[in-house]
Amino acid sequence: METLTTTLLIIGGGPGGYVAGIRAGQLNVPTILVEGAQPGGTCLTIGCIPSKALIHAADEFSKATTYAAQESPLGITLDNPRIDLDRTVAWKDGIVKRLTGGVGALLKKHGVRVIKGWARVIDGKTVEVQPPAGSEQAVFRIRCEHLLLAAGSEPVELPFMPFGGPVVSSTEALSPDSMPRRLVVVGAGYIGMELGTAYRKLGSKVTVVEAFDRILPAYDADLAKPVAASLARLGVELRLGTSVLGMEDGQVRVRDASGVESRLEADRVLVAVGRKPRTTGWGLESLMLDMDGRALKVDALCRTSMRNVWAIGDLAGEPMLAHRAMAQGEMVAEIIAGKYREFAPAAIPAVCYTDPEIVVAGMTPLEADHAGVEFISAHFPFSANGRAMTIESLDGFVRVVARKDNHVILGWQAVGAGVSELAAGFAQSIEMGAQLEDVARTIHAHPTLGEAVQEAALRALGHALHI
C-alpha cells in the first residue's frame, strides 16, 4: 500500500480545516488536507452560504408579492410576481461553486496538497484514505507528525422520524425541487426559524413545532419577541410547548403540554432539532480520546488528550460556528509552525438570520447577573433611528451591557433588519476592552443603523440624544 508523509494532516476541508491549511501553507508547514466532498465543508456547500442565498431570494420574492397584493407607501406596484425555483437553486449553486473554487485555488496557491477521499484513522499518526466511488486510485495511507481533526457536524436525526422521503434535514431543504404546500418544521432554533421563514415567504404554509414554550430558546426572550411578531404577520403557525411523536400517512403526530394529541397535515417535514459532532464512521474511536459529551475534549490550544492530535470547529463542541472554527484552525497552524498562541477570545459573535435578524456578542443582562457582576444596561430602539425608518424596519433595538464600576463593555445584543453587519463592531469593542465612553464618543455616520450602537452607549451613560 502506498504511503505518503507530511508534517500536518488535516481531516476535513470545512472552514476550520481549509483555513488551517492555508495558514500552514503560508508558514511553510508541509500540509495535506483530505476532504470527501468539495472544499468548504457544511458551511460553504450545504449550510451558511446556501441558506443565506435562499433567504435572500425568499425576501425579494416576498417583497414582490407584497407590492402586488397591496398598495405600497413607496409607490411601487407589481402584477403577478412568480418565482422559477430551478433558476433560484441554480443561482444559489453558482455562488457555492465560485466560493468552493476560490478555496481550492487558495489552498493550491499556498502549496497545500488536497486529496479527495474519505479518511479513516488508524492511529494518532496514520490515516487510511478511501478514494471516492468510481476513482481508479487505490486505497493508500498518510503518515504525519500532527493530525488535525476538523470533520464538522451533522444534523440530529429523530429515531422515530428518520430522514428520508418527506422527512428532510436542512441539507435537502436548501435544494428543493418544488415548494411543499404544507411544511412542518420540527424545532424552533435558528435553523428551523431561518428556513421556515424562507419557505413561508416562498409560498408554503408553515407550521413550527417546538418543545419549549417559545421560539429561539437559546436566545434572550426580548430578542425573540420581534421575530415572533414577524412570524405572526407572515402567517406562520407556532405550536409551542408541543412534542412530536412521529409521522403516519402524511400527518405529523404531536402532543401539547396538556397531553392532548393531534395531527398536522404535511407534504414535507423539516427536522431541525440541532447538530452533533461527526465522531463516528471514520475510525476516531480507535484513538480513545477524552470526550466532552458528544464532542472531543480539547485544551486552550485545541489539543486533544493525545498530544499530537488536534481538534477544531464543531468536532470540539459548542459554539458550532464557522468563524470559531476558522479562528481555531489559524491558531493551530501557527502553533505547529512554532508560534505561541492560545484560544481565548473575549467574545464570539453569533448571528441568527431570521426576519428580523439577531446578533449577540458577549454577556446578556441575565448572564451578567448570574455571573454576579454589577452591571448597567441600556437599549436604543430602531423606531427612533432615521435609517431604520427609511428602510421600513422599525422593529428591534440595540442593547449594551457594561460593568457598573468602570463601564467596560461586557456584551452587545441587537435585533432588527441588517443587524448582522453590526457583529464585527460588537466583538471588536469587547475584544479591545472598550468602555461605554469609547463608543459614545466615537462619531458614527448618519444616517446608519450603527447610530443605535452609539445611542445605546449614550443611554447607558445617562444622556441619550434621540430618545
Give residue for cell 433558476: 87
Q: Please give the residue range of the domain that contains residue 35.
A: 3-46+90-154+276-336
Omega prior to 30 cis, within 30 of 0:
no
Q: Is the pLDDT of residue 134 over 80?
A: no
CA–CA separation, 181 and 265 (whole Å): 10
Number of domains in the chain: 3
Whether residue 267 is found in the same domain as residue 289: no
Whether residue 332 is found in the same domain as residue 380: no
Whether residue 360 is found in the same domain as residue 287: no
Q: Is residue 76 part of a domain?
A: no
Between CA 12 and CA 234, with CA 351 as vertex, the angle to 5 degrees is 120
Whether residue 107 is found in the same domain as residue 185: no
Whether residue 188 is found in the same domain as residue 286: no
Task: Output the pTM of the full model.
Answer: 0.94
Q: Is the pLDDT of residue 80 over 90?
A: no
Name residue 318's amino acid.
E
Q: How is residue 380 written as a grid cell?
A: 436604543
Give the model confidence (pLDDT) of 325-337 as tens digits: 999 999 999 999 9
Say how many residues make up the chain.
467
Give the model confidence (pLDDT) of 361-375 as tens digits: 999 999 999 999 999
CATH of the domain at 306: 3.50.50.60
Give the model confidence (pLDDT) of 245-275 as tens digits: 999 999 999 999 999 999 999 999 999 999 9
For residue 34, give the H/E element and its range.
Answer: strand 31-35
φ and ψ of 244, to 5 deg: -95, 135
DSSP 8-class letter at 163? S
Whether residue 133 is found in the same domain as residue 206: no
Give the model confidence (pLDDT) of 160-218 as tens digits: 999 999 999 999 999 998 999 999 999 999 999 999 999 999 999 999 999 999 999 99
Whether residue 395 is found in the same domain as residue 442: yes
Question: E-strand spans in 172-280?
Answer: 182-186, 205-210, 237-240, 243-248, 251-255, 261-265, 268-271, 275-277
Whether residue 39 is found in the same domain as residue 134: yes
Return the pLDDT at 98.
94
Confidence bin at 38 (pLDDT 50/70/90): confident
- Collapsed DSSP state (helix, strand, coil) of residue 313: helix
Q: Is the pLDDT of residue 68 over 90?
A: no
Active site residues: 446
